[in-house]
Amino acid sequence: MIQIGEILIGLLVLAGSLICALSAFGLVRLPDVYLRSHAATKSATLGVLFILFGTFLYFGFFLEHVSAKLLLGIVFVFITAPVAGHLNGRAAYRSGVPLWERSVQDDWKGDLKKREIE
Amino acid sequence: MALQILLNLIIAFVWMFLYNDWAAPRFAMGYLLGIICIGLLSRFWPHDFYMKRLWAVVKLLVLFVKELFISSYVVMFQIVRPRLAIRPGIFALKTELKSDWEITVLSCLICLTPGTLTLDVSPDGQTMYIHAMDINDADELSKQIKGTFEKAIMEVTRS
């Protein structure tokens, strides 16, 4: 039983760090701010959640200490990460960072101009 | 809804008073009894039974987690592909949701869907501008968002 728990926790933390590494790789690889923000908000969130959950299980099963702080951390990361991604993208667009040249569609540009004229 | 929860708490406390027992199991028992009472008498209430809405909230949370998993998988798959085969773009989505709260939840959900990111909400709160990683068919994407997320949020706020 303890063996299974150990393996599970190890897998969780390993998967979390792998996901984080992949999303860091995405930050290097993807061509523009918006696409990088996709990688940073989604995969990094999931990676951090996996690691925190693995830590929570470790504390719970092996040190007999239910850490509510870790659960709170999971909730906070879960709530704030998408908002941070949204604000980054919005601030970048408002200060004129161009989209990748192979982008195909931009509905916002026209509407934003119309709004400024009004 | 708040009124029903308050009544349920009061029933639980009355149950504890009746037994003169202040432990958590007694409270849980009283709360369960309260749920049953309120459920049986739900036709006297102007609003729906509040457990229904709680169930909708749970469903929304499950949807949140599911979408997070799917979207991370999709994004990672795109990253590790040898050639970038993505066609990013920004599309506008008309939404029927009204209150600020609903729109906030919807945009958070969209941020966590596979390959979409909310960039802006228009000042009148009718249109959302969404950056999609793979915009092959913006119509289908927006239909999907409308079909699943808007419905789930509406079930919570307008039941």
For helices B50-80 and A2-29, what crossing angle results, to 10°?
Answer: 60
Better-scored residue on pLDDT, B27 or A97:
B27
Task: List the single range of A14-23, A47-56, A96-105, B70-79 with lowest mean pLDDT.
Answer: A96-105
Angstrom distance (rounded) from CA A112 to CA B16? 60
pLDDT (0 to 100) of residue B135: 73
Chain A residues whose beta carbon lies within 8 Å of the beta carbon of residue B134:
none
- Collapsing DSSP states into helix, strand and coil, what is residue A107? helix
Check if the beta carbon of residue B34 is closer than 8 Å to that of residue B8.
yes
B76 vs A83: CB contact, 8 Å cut-off? no
Tell me the CA distances in angstroms from B29 to B6, B17, B18, B33, B86, one per residue in order. 16, 13, 12, 6, 55
Residue A14 pLDDT exceeds 90: yes
A89 vs B131: CB contact, 8 Å cut-off? yes
pLDDT (0 to 100) of residue B131: 83
Better-scored residue on pLDDT, B138 or B103:
B103
Nearest CA in chain B to A21: B76
pLDDT (0 to 100) of residue A103: 63
Average pLDDT of every residue of chain B: 82
Residue A102 pLDDT exceeds 70: no
How sure is the predictor about A118, in pLDDT bands with cuts at 50, 70 and 90? Answer: low
Q: Give the gap in angstroms from C-alpha B63 to the nearest C-alpha of chain A.
A: 13
pLDDT (0 to 100) of residue B46: 79
Tell me the CA distances in angstroms from A7 to A10, A53, A71, B118, one per residue in order. 5, 14, 21, 38
Chain B residues whose beta carbon lies within 8 Å of the beta carbon of residue A78:
64, 68
pTM here is: 0.77
The tokens for A7 are 């393996």
Task: List the single range of A21-30, A69-78, B11-20, B120-129 with lowest mean pLDDT.
Answer: B120-129
Chain A residues whose beta carbon lies within 8 Å of the beta carbon of residue B71:
42
Residue B18 pLDDT exceeds 80: yes
Angstrom distance (rounded) from CA B146 to CA A12? 33
Residue A101 pLDDT exceeds 70: no
pLDDT (0 to 100) of residue B85: 72
Question: How many Cα atoms occupy the beta-carbon half-sphere of B131 within 13 Å?
Answer: 28
- Collapsing DSSP states into helix, strand and coil, what is residue B87? coil
pLDDT (0 to 100) of residue A117: 66
How sure is the predictor about A104, in pLDDT bands with cuts at 50, 70 and 90? Answer: low
pLDDT (0 to 100) of residue B32: 92
Task: List the single range of A24-38, A49-63, B80-94 with lowest mean pLDDT.
Answer: B80-94
CA A13 from centre of chain = 16
Residue A17 pLDDT exceeds 90: yes
| For testing contact with chain A, the best of B76, B126, B127, B141 (most A CBs within 10 A) | B76
| For testing contact with chain B, the best of A20, A108, A118 (most B CBs within 10 A) | A108
Give A3: exposed, middle or buried? Use CB within 10 Å, 0-12, 13-18, 19+.
exposed
First to last CA, chain A: 67
pLDDT (0 to 100) of residue B65: 83
A45 vs B69: CB contact, 8 Å cut-off? no
pLDDT (0 to 100) of residue A51: 92
pLDDT (0 to 100) of residue B14: 92
Sequence-ordered list of residues with C-beta below 8 angstroms from that of A37, at least 6 positions apart, any chain: A85, A88, A89, A92, B117
pLDDT (0 to 100) of residue A2: 74
B117 vs A89: CB contact, 8 Å cut-off? yes
Tell me the CA distances in angstroms from B24 to B15, B19, B30, one per residue in order. 12, 13, 10
Closest CA to A82 of B123, B117, B11, B79: B117
pLDDT (0 to 100) of residue A27: 86
Tell me the CA distances in angstroms from B39 to B9, B18, B68, one per residue in order. 14, 22, 34
